[in-house]
Amino acid sequence: MKRKIIRQGHNTMTLTLPSDWIKRFNLSAGSEVDLSERDNGLFISSERKNETKTTEFDIDSFDIPTIWKYFMAIYREGYDEVRVKFNPSLQMGSPYKFFAQHKLDLRYKKETETKPIVEFLTEMITRFIGWEIVDYGKDYVIIKEMTEPTSKEFDNSLRRVFLLIQQMADEVSEALKSGNKKSLTHIHNVDINVDKFHDYCIRILNKMANKETRKTSLLFSILFLLEMIGDEFKTISHHLMQDYSDANFNSIMDVASSLREEIYLFYDIFYKFDKEKVIRMSELDKNRYFSVGKKKVKEEEAKEIFHHLRIIARYINALLELRIELEY
């Protein structure tokens, strides 16, 4: 739809708004609207801050993995209030045991005891920043958002994701070098925190989705890749602790070290774009790529870790491409 620009006074230009749109959002003279830049245009939206986005679902037939999938999807999508229905006699085990199949953290061991469903949900909700159970009955709980996400909280949470990934890179590199695999016993908890702050960032982006669409889509991709890197470090930690506790990894130490350096470089580049650091990351990737053909990794254990390190390398390379795109 096209509108003509109307001169209003000496320095002011105005546009008329479609009457159907005004009626739909119950606007009148004096109402406020939000005006934001979007790429090469402007986006006008009505302010509906008092509107609550609600949903409900029944978990009676769900197993723990399915419950997690529903909660994560609804949380990321930005719902403010959720009503969860269930059979009062329903019992569940620890909500975290599904995520600790490899016993990376003894606190999330494969326990056989079950607990009442309200207790299960109360423990589960601690995983979601800003959500709290505010009411419950014999066959339901109501979860509400207790804080309003802001762009500042997004920045803090994204930085936290970066720092946790750096921690994982440091600890995996040190474990490969020193042979002390016990230092990785808490890596599962670190990965849970990566997921927690990742989901909070996604939630905030979805709740602020009307602003800077192009930048938002790039941030979605960057967050996804960071979470995948965390999962790869968790898998490596599992192998080191459970499968290859006595293996030697000297043949792949240089690969782990170069990836660790790239992770730190990308963190710097993300917050302050630097062409020299971009070049350094490309050099590290190129040197690692051309050394792969010459590298003779004979030990089966090292080959498996090497495989996961190469996956991380591909993710880092994709992150760098996205950051360059974000710059332009």
Locate 26 and state its tokens: 């119950």
d(CA 93, CA 117): 9
pLDDT of residue 183: 77
> Could you tell me the two tokens for 165?
């990934």
Cα distances (Å, whole numbers) of residue 50 to 44, 80, 203: 18, 11, 18
Give the number of other CB atoms < 10 A from CB of residue 190.
21
Residue type, 40: N
Residue 56: the pLDDT is 95
Q: Which of 129, 101, 290, 281 is nearest to 194 (CA)?
A: 129
Domain-wise residue ranges, the chain: 6-46, 54-145, 151-327
> Which is it for the CA torsion 214, 216, 222, 228, positive or negative?
negative
Among the listed residues 270, 240, 275, the one whose alpha carbon sits nearest the alpha carbon of residue 166: 270
The conformation of residue 102, written as its DSSP 8-state character, comes to T
CATH entry 2.40.110.10 includes domain 151-327? no
What whole-number percentage of the chain has pLDDT above 70? 84
Q: Determine what percent of the chain is predicted with pLDDT higher than 90.
A: 52
Kindly report the CATH class assigned to 54-145. alpha beta
- Residue 156 is predicted with a pLDDT of 95
Band of residue 106 on the pLDDT scale cut at 50, 70, 90: very low
Is it the case that residue 240 has pLDDT exceeding 50? yes
What does the DSSP 8-state code read for residue 65? H
Residues 255-263, mean pLDDT to the nearest whole number: 94
CB atoms within 10 A of CB 88: 11
Whose CA is closest to 234, among 191, 282, 280, 177? Answer: 191
pLDDT mean over 162-186: 88
In terms of average pLDDT, the best of 12-26, 40-54, 75-89 is: 75-89
Is residue 234 over pLDDT 80?
yes
pLDDT at 46: 64
Question: Helix or strand or coil: residue 56?
Answer: strand
Instruction: Report in angstroms the alpha-carbon separations of 60 from 96, 184, 240.
Output: 18, 36, 38
Q: Enumerate residues 6+ apart whose C-beta is below 8 A from 104.
A: 184, 185, 187, 188, 234, 237, 238, 241
User: How does residue 297 score in pLDDT terms, banded at 50, 70 and 90?
Assistant: low
CATH number of 6-46: 2.10.260
Q: Express each pLDDT in 192-216 by its tens digit.
A: 999 999 999 999 998 876 556 778 8
C-alpha distances (whole Å) from 139 to each of 60, 120, 160, 183 are: 10, 13, 37, 43
Tell me the pTM: 0.80
- Tell me what pLDDT residue 48 has: 52
pLDDT at site 110: 52
